[in-house]
Amino acid sequence: NELSASIKEVGVLQPIVVRKRPASQIAAAKAAKHDETESSTNPFAGHLDSPYELIMGERRWRASQLAGLETIPAIVKTTADDDMLRDALLENLHRVALNPLEEAAAYQQMIEEFGLTQVQLSKSVSKSRPQIANTLRLLNLPASVQKRVAAGVLSSGHARALLGLSDPEEMDKLASRIIAEGLSVRSTEEIVAMKIASGEQPKKPKTSKTNPWVGSAIQQSLENHFDTKVSIKGSTKHGRIEIVFSSPEDMDRILQLLVPSQGDADSKWV
């Protein structure tokens, strides 16, 4: 699949998260595995005798298997508190020297797995929301270009300029030219602008999987208003809006923003 192909090219950009299994569970799983037959459907079969249990990153783990990787980076979770785990991952962002692609993958992990908005994330890592958004855009590059960014031969500024093109092959060709000729970011932007103006750059075909709302001004405005992650799903004609809350108190806060007239502290929503 697409993620597996990307991992073959660039590697696993963000570590999976695992935790140690209890010794009793490992022993029981090994005993069950020893007794099972080839036709057995014993629930302890498979990876339950492994010393670690996967907590986050199943897609990365499965895609890495398809890519033929024997080892991938992992963080061992030592706490049951998700807030502490989130803080530990944020601390890792500050402590470890990440390349731009690894940084983008780390931001994406915080958004997807902890429901942070770009505004909340920007406060946590002391960067502006536009900086976060621009870094996340690097994940839209084709794997061949991502590989050059990860290797440090193509700057994030050059990479963002390439995102003005919609054809992955054109991005790859221009990336090669940037490296070969030592083009500046400004020169790259001018070349991209000329390609678009001349009609040389084909329009990106629309597919049923395209979500026109992802990264839109409306989505960002809603996330800023509610101070939480907001997803808009569907087309421009019909769809739905999903607002993430992290606790009963957070839900009350959001509901009071939605229905200000019901903002009585004694009101009951359910």
Which residues are catalytically annotated?
58
Q: Are 115 and 125 in contact (CB under 8 A)?
A: no
How far is CA 173 from each of CA 71, 178, 220, rounded to the nearest angstrom?
Answer: 32, 9, 33
- Residue listed under structure tokens 């996340």: 136
- Residue listed under structure tokens 């940084």: 103
- Name every residue whose Cβ is closer than 8 Å to that of residue 76 and which is 6 or more positions away in sequence: 18, 19, 20, 52
Spatial separation of the C-alpha atoms in residues 5 and 147, rounded to whole Å: 12
Spatial separation of the C-alpha atoms in residues 177 and 172, rounded to whole Å: 9
Residue 1's SS3 state is: coil
**69, containing H or E segment:** none
Q: Are 33 and 167 in contact (CB under 8 A)?
A: no
Smallest CA-to-CA distance from 167 within 133, 140, 131, 127 is with 140
Query: Facing residues of 239 across strands?
Result: 234
Alpha helices, DSSP H, located in 11-128: 23-35, 58-66, 82-95, 100-114, 118-125
- The token duo for 164 is 């003005």
How far is CA 199 from each of CA 141, 162, 175, 185, 248, rounded to the nearest angstrom?
Answer: 21, 16, 20, 21, 52
